[in-house]
A and B are shown apart, each in its own frame.
Chain A
Amino acid sequence: MPDPAVEIRDVVKRYDGHTAVRGLSLTVPRGAVYGILGPNGAGKTTTIRMVLDVIAPDEGSINVLGVPNTTRGAIDRVGYLPEERGLYRRMQVRRVLRFLAELKGVGRHEADRRIDRWLDRLGLRTADRDWGDAKVDDLSRGMQQKVQFIGALLHDPDMLILDEPFSGLDPINAQMLQDIVMELRRNGKTILFCTHMMDSAERLCDSVCIIARGAKLVDGPIARVREEHGGRRVTLELTDGTANGVAAVLADRTLVHRVNDANRIFDIELAPDADPQRLLRRLVDAGASIARFELAQASLHRIFVERVGALDTSTEANDHA
């Protein structure tokens, strides 16, 4: 078992007047797509900046690809796509990319070769237009995002850190990016990404960590998180009105923890240790005319809203500070 891609241990980061990250520990396995999820101001960007050794934690340690992240050259194996585009606006696209690659130690000729390959791949160089020769300023937001993405990949990093990668992209480009992320994963790269968009996290991630107000709430492989923290749920749909017997079954606290009644569709949270099969039998016995009985796992979205919503979010601090 190789060292994890990222290992954060008991990291604390304080700013004047508030603590942005408090005692955070998490492990990103190699070759996984790992999502750090959290509301705005949860400490995601601060955490990423600490992983990248841009800012130093006040306490705790961070290892990246098996070595402390302050080791010389450790961060050169990492690619980073920031939340906001960060490109020299008056520079030619190709020169910006060459600069970013050279900063990571890629030779000039190799960089040029890779730049052309990625420009082709992302549709920035076609038969009738080579955007590599244009100035960054002349590109649309979506194109700039793609250029930024190329900049993060040129040195063929072992790990890629993406901060809100899909914001500002149209669905086609977002899909293109997702495909590349998946391809990188197949090639054994580790992808760490930050988002507050739960649906993309749910589709892409192997593991997640939900943080809020600088502390971890939940983490682990996505299936386990759902199972452990989502509760077990049943969606029940009846073909006609509720028979009296059905209401009695749903009121049985040994079977049903909570029920959300939306006319003929019920969103049922099972009681701990309750057997869904027994619930189904009881409902049939009670004379219910069942159109649908579905065992559903909670969505990340739901877990997120429930978990984070439980905290008082009114004192959100800005983690950009």
Chain B
Amino acid sequence: MRKLLVVTAREYLERVRTRWFIVATVFGPIIFGLLLFVPPWIAARSQASANLARIVILDATGTDLGKRIAAELNGGIAGDTSRTDVRAVVPARLAEAESLATRQTVARETRGYLVLDSNTIAGRSARYAGSNATSGADMNEIRRVVRDEVVAMRLEQAGLDAFQSAALASMRLSLDAERITDRGRGASAKLSIFFAFGVAMLLYVSILMYGQAVLRGVIEEKQTRVAEVVVASVSPVKLLGGKVLGVGAVGLTQLVIWIGVGLTLMKMRAQVLGHFGIESTPVFLPGISPGAAVLLILFFMLGYTFYAALFAMVGATVTNDQDAQQAQVPVVMLLVVSAFALAPVLAAPESKLAYIMGWLPFSSPIIMPLRMSVVTLEPFDIAASIIILVVSCYVAVVLAARVYRTGLLMYGKRPALREVVRWMRRAG
């Protein structure tokens, strides 16, 4: 027991001390912070410009469409339309009017000009040229106004009165979605999905990262022949156990730091954004009950243990990094397949695929937390998944220990799969 602790402590301390760990631990929250702060900032930047209306409208339609658009651009009937210069043009002189407006735009007397003609009345097209033509938000706003006014005008022509036309033309439907969980109304559905996906990806990345750290550790000990010295003091099984525990503790430390910093950043989000003069909707975290949090950590630990055992097994059968790259492919593929299943499971968290992937030990540590975050699962479903995973962990660790014990002092050629299976069968 004491020796196991010595090995675990070495693994933990040596890894936490590395520059890599410090960088990754700091980098995680930075990326998280960017996710929290950059989208509102970009959104603030991409709102339509306030002086959208400072343009020239070349109206070749022979109607009052130009004037109506100008009014709408300036905030409706009550708006001040003096900033918008509406010029009625006959179609034959349109080219001439356009070149004048172009010159004015170049001279910065106006931001651009909007051309309305028979195509616009027909509902097909309008043209805009100006210094802000690349701004998606500005163009969307102009298109909306033109479209609304054309529709309104045509509805009027069809016999509706102006008030009815306007109401119909500008009808807009917005959908605010909100998720309802066991604990009542919670966060928005979008955020909940984002969160669930985030948790699953975090688990995927951590399990892959730390599983491979175990693999590299095993290979390092073989390559540097440290294993020779160490197994003369401690049994291979304890050495493996200490390695898996130590590396796992590093992973847990990093997750705790990430989650802690993440939660703090979320709390401070409105404050920080407000500081930059950006208004933000408060973020409601999807409700995580303490029970769910325990389950999340349990799934991480079990998933990590399962994969760490598989990676250790791979490490014990190879001598160099090139061989390891090849030999670890099957294990990595298991994880990647699970990650690919995330999107379909998210789309249908109660489908047959979701059930199966939630029970298979290689995918359950990633899939179950995802399902748990988006729908409320039957306790039986969760229990079955965990029991299967625990049993699989036990089998994987026992087999890994057997392979590790035999493979640790083997160098040179990679053993054939049949031989590795023989090592697994050799008990005690």
Contact = CB atoms under 8 A, between A and B. Distances in A.
Q: Do A and B bind each other?
A: yes
Interface of A: 16, 49, 52, 54-55, 75-76, 78, 80, 82, 84-91, 95, 99-100, 102-105, 148, 151, 320-321
Contacts of A105: 2
A75, A89, A103, A104: which has the most chain B beta carbons within 10 Å?
Answer: A103
B409 A76 contact: no
Contact of B228 (A82, A89, A321): A82
A103 B225 contact: no
A66 to B, nearest CB: 19
A54 B10 contact: no
A49 B224 contact: no
Given A87-B224, A88-B14, A89-B224, A148 B229 contact: yes
A179 B297 CA distance: 56
Interface string B230-241: 111110000000
A108 to B, nearest CB: 10
Contact of A54 (B224, B226, B231): B231
B229 A82 contact: yes
A86 B6 CA distance: 18
B3 A88 contact: no
A109 B200 CA distance: 44
Contact of A104 (B7, B10, B225, B233): B233
Nearest to B411: A320
Contact of A55 (B14, B226, B229, B409): B409
A84 B6 CA distance: 23
Interface of B: 2-3, 6-7, 10, 14, 220-221, 224-234, 409-411, 419
A16 B227 CA distance: 22
Given A75-B233, A104-B233, A88 B6 contact: no
Contacts of B233: 75-76, 100, 103-104
23 contacts: A49-B409, A52-B232, A54-B228, A54-B231, A76-B233, A78-B232, A80-B229, A84-B225, A85-B224, A85-B225, A86-B229, A86-B230, A87-B229, A88-B14, A89-B224, A90-B14, A95-B10, A99-B6, A100-B229, A100-B230, A103-B230, A103-B234, A321-B410
B226 A86 contact: yes
Contact of B3 (A80, A84, A103): A103
Contacts of B6: 99, 102-103
A84 B228 contact: yes
A80 B220 contact: no
B6, B225, B228: which has the most chain A beta carbons within 10 Å?
Answer: B228
Contacts of B14: 88, 90-91, 95
Nearest to A51: B232
A54 B221 CA distance: 15
Given A99-B10, A320-B411, A75 B229 contact: no
A268 to B, nearest CB: 46
Given A87-B224, A89-B224, A54 B232 contact: yes
B225, B231, B233, B409: which has the most chain A beta carbons within 10 Å?
Answer: B233
A87 B226 contact: yes
A151 B229 contact: yes
Given A49-B409, A54-B231, A89-B220, 9 more contacts: A52-B232, A82-B229, A82-B232, A86-B224, A86-B225, A88-B220, A88-B221, A100-B229, A320-B411
B409 to A, nearest CB: 7
Nearest to A152: B229
Given A99-B6, A103-B234, A88 B226 contact: yes
Nearest to B226: A86
Contacts of A16: 419
Contacts of B3: 103
A49, A90, A91, A102: which has the most chain B beta carbons within 10 Å?
Answer: A102
Contacts of B226: 86-88
B20 to A, nearest CB: 11
Contacts of A55: 409
A88 B410 contact: no
A148 B2 CA distance: 23
Q: 5 shortest A-B CB distances, which residue pairs?
A: A86-B225, A103-B233, A86-B229, A80-B232, A82-B228
Contacts of B10: 95, 99
B52 to A, nearest CB: 60
Contacts of B224: 85-89
Contacts of B230: 86, 100, 103
A219 to B, nearest CB: 24
Nearest to A79: B232
Contacts of B227: 86
A80 B226 CA distance: 12
A80 B227 CA distance: 12
Contacts of B232: 52, 54, 75, 78, 80, 82
Nearest to B222: A86
A86 B228 contact: yes
Contacts of A104: 233
Contacts of A90: 14
Given A103-B230, A103-B233, A82 B225 contact: yes
A2 B222 CA distance: 38
A99 B6 CA distance: 7
A54 B409 CA distance: 9
Contacts of A87: 224, 226, 229
Contacts of A52: 232
B316 to A, nearest CB: 14
A287 to B, nearest CB: 63
Contacts of B7: 103
Contacts of B220: 88-89
A54 B239 CA distance: 12
A100 B6 CA distance: 9
B71 to A, nearest CB: 72
A311 to B, nearest CB: 25
B322 to A, nearest CB: 19
Nearest to B406: A55
Contacts of B2: 105
Contacts of A89: 220, 224
A80 B228 CA distance: 9
A49, A82, A88: which has the most chain B beta carbons within 10 Å?
Answer: A88
Nearest to A104: B233
A177 B409 CA distance: 27
Contacts of B411: 320
A148 B221 CA distance: 15
A210 B6 CA distance: 38
A62 B338 CA distance: 50
Contacts of B221: 88
